[in-house]
Amino acid sequence: MHNLEGFFHNSYNLLSTTKRKRSLLHRFDISFFVAMLIFTTLFATVATVMVLNLRDFSYRSVQDSLRFYDNRLYVELNQDIMFLIDNCTSDPDIIRLRTTMDRGEEVGCISRIQNRLSTQVTTNSVIRGFYLYYTEKDIFVPVYSTSNAGANVGYPYPSFIRELLRSHLEHDVVEPDFLKKWFFIEEHDCLIRLFKVGAIYGGAWIDLNNLPGFEEFSGNDGILLITDNSGQVLYAGNTLTDEGYEGDYHKLQLPVERSLTEPVSVRIPGIGKRIVISFKQSFSDYCFTVLLPQNQFFQAFQPFFVLLVLLILWAVGFFIFYNRMGRGIIEIPVRSLMAVTKNIHEGNLDSRITPPNDYEETVQITEAFNKLLSEISNLRISVYEEQLQAREFELKSLKNQVAPHFLINCLNTVFMSAQDQSNLEMTNQIITTLSSHLRYTLSDRDSVPLSEELEYLDNYILLTQSRFPGTLRYETETDPHMMDAEVFPMILLTLTENSIKTGLIMGEPFLIRVRTSKKVVNGETFVCLEHTDSGIGLSEEMLDKYNHILEHPEVTEKGTGIGLYNTAMRLRLILGPEAELNFANEEGMGLRVTICFPYKKYEEKEE
């Protein structure tokens, strides 16, 4: 009976603990969440990689366009400069102009030079014009096309360039870097190129306001700028103003260095968010920088973003549907099982599960569980009856072992007292006490109040003191609130008999001390019986065996532990696993035996 009840109790606790700590539904939700998280993470990772690849593709496309445009300018500018250099070494008028001292001849040379060089300067050419400068004579020969349109058509360029050359060539010395690349002149929005052939300086200039393909390069929404390496805008034309920028664009600072290797997003006042893409010019120390609207830069991603959103919505919908369906399949049968296991825990084995749905698996499980409950119910009845019979038989057997042992000792005491006729009165008292003890020990009662057990313990001590006069001393300390506690007969008598049998020596003082007390543990009241003698106690090895006496039945082989073994066995059978039996050596005394068990008030039972 106890085993089955313990099985159902543990099963219910296991299910309750599982629901509380490791619930199947909770685990399903966690698994669903983890799967959703993994899917989202993988999907986000793939999407991020694809977006980065698309962004890099768009960035490289713009840079390829800038590279193509730069290469076109480089080739044409290089051809024009080489054309002018070749003329400086082969044209007789250019050479003669340096040496002639005739004014009329100088005018003629200049006219022929301009006519021949002007064929290279056309409306569609990148070069706005050429120039030659003779420092020894301070002669400046400009060559340009007057048909070119622009804000600075005419002589402002040649006159400006002449003054620039005079200031730089005052001592006929020019920095090496000045002769290698084009450089920007902020006041006139142009790029100047200078070279030296012998004693003749020559060069060309580019009008940025009329640079072919500059404004049309990035389409209507893009802005093409020329910047230096630090990110300062050198030239923007009217494009920034047309887009809404109201400040001085020369003070605008852009992340050019970063944009040479990756697209950079910036916010420009009046224009909004722009993507910065830069490319290093091959013919100067400056950069082409494109400002693209951010929405235009990412417009190639729009189909992908739409597909991504649709896939995410589909995945979320699928996982939610899967979760609801899965919870429905698992939750309904589990809740039915939990309701039935609760009834089983309360001792009701008549509960049955009704299939929560008509799924084949659910029906089979519920039918099997209901059949198992029926078999367990029948088995419990059979086991209960068998255990009850076995328990009654074992208790009677133990009791029959104790009664003859006790009776032999008492009869021996009567015999010893009857040897002296002068002790007739004492003998009669012993016989009367013995008769009372026999009625107590041989009765069929399974339980008595603690007060009655102590009363007959006093009688037994009295009988023993008569047998061993002047030897046995008895002390008792009782809690009056525990006198009505229910105990089985001879729970203390057996301990006292064992102490006297193993420790008392004729003529030597021997003390037995009995204490009863109350102990409260977790709100439950326990009765504690402490029996101590003044014998020699037990060795550590024997103490360990006695504290596990039911596992060491060999302690009864010499006849000294039969009473203690029987007491331990009766404790287990009658009071259950909550009863405790402990053996220890008391300091200054001998063996101390402590018995603790739950308090139960004794109630007189009908015969």
- Is residue 147 in a domain? yes
Phi and psi angles of residue 447, each rounded to the nearest 5 degrees, phi first: -150, 150
132 plus 231 within the same structural domain: yes
d(CA 580, CA 561): 18
The whole-number average pLDDT for the span 564-589 is: 84
Say if residue 137 is in the same domain as residue 281.
yes
CATH number reported for the structural domain that contains residue 411 in this entry: 3.30.565.10
Number of structural domains, the chain? 2
**pLDDT averaged over the chain?**
77
Instruction: Please provide the DSSP assignment of 302-332 as one string.
Output: HHHHHHHHHHHHHHHHHHHHHHHHHHHHHHH
**C-alpha distances in angstroms, 285 versus 126, 248, 323, 437, 545?**
18, 22, 63, 124, 98
- Quick one: 215 and 101 in the same domain? yes
Please indicate, yes or no, whether residues 272 and 404 belong to a single structural domain of this protein: no
Confidence of residue 420 (pLDDT cuts 50, 70, 90): low
Residue 250: what pLDDT? Answer: 82
Lowest mean pLDDT among 4-8, 116-120, 469-473: 4-8
Strand partners, 597: 527
What pLDDT is attached to residue 12?
47
Confidence category of residue 187, pLDDT binned at 50, 70, 90: confident
Domain that residue 162 falls in = 50-302
Res 556 pLDDT > 90? no
Show Cβ contacts of residue 21 under 8 Å, excluding neighbours closer than 6 positions: none
**Overall size of the chain counted in residues:** 607
Same-domain check for residues 257 and 394: no
Give the tens place of pLDDT for each residue, 428-454: 777 777 777 667 666 667 788 999 889
Angle at 473 between CA 469 and CA 476, to 5 degrees: 145
Q: From 302, 322, 352, give the residue that closes a domain.
A: 302
531 band by pLDDT with thresholds 50, 70 and 90: very high
Is position 322 within any domain?
no
**Mutual orientation of helices 302-345 and 2-21 as an angle, nearest 10°?**
160
Report CA-CA distances (Å) from 141 to 98, 101, 104, 120, 235: 12, 16, 15, 15, 27
Residue 597 has φ and ψ, to the nearest 5°, of: -155, 160
Q: How many CB atoms lie within 10 A of CB 400?
A: 11
Give the domain-ending residue among 257, 278, 302: 302
Dump pLDDT digits (tens) for 57-115.
Answer: 888 888 888 898 889 888 988 888 899 889 988 899 988 988 888 888 989 999 998 88
**Residue 20: inside a domain:** no
Measured CA to CA, the distance from residue 99 to residue 113 in angstroms comes to 15
Q: Is residue 307 part of a domain?
A: no
- Does residue 362 or residue 578 have the better pLDDT? 578
Residues 290, 399: one domain?
A: no
The token duo for 122 is 């056309």
**pLDDT per residue over 477-519, tens digit each?**
999 888 999 988 888 888 888 888 888 888 889 999 999 999 9
Asked whether the beta carbons of 453 and 489 are under 8 A apart, the reply is: yes
- Domain-located, residue 552: yes
The pLDDT of residue 287: 92
- What value does the mean pLDDT take over residues 54-58? 80
At which of 279, 302, 325 does a domain end? Answer: 302
Residue 43 within a domain: no
- Count of beta carbons in the 10 Å neighbourhood of residue 374: 12
Express each pLDDT in 263-280 by its tens digit: 998 998 888 888 899 999
d(CA 264, CA 256): 9
In a domain, 136, yes or no: yes
Using alpha carbons, select from 317, 283, 220, 268 the residue that is nearest to residue 74: 283
pLDDT of residue 521: 87
What pLDDT does residue 477 have? Answer: 92
Looking at residue 20, what is its pLDDT? Answer: 46
290 and 403 together in one domain = no
Amino acid at 512: I
Cross-strand partners of 272: 268
Tell me what percent of the residues of the chain surpass a pLDDT of 70.
Answer: 72
Q: Is residue 5 part of a domain?
A: no
Q: What pLDDT, in 10s, does the model give residues 457-485?
A: 888 888 788 777 888 899 999 998 889 99
In the prediction, which pLDDT does 548 show? Answer: 85
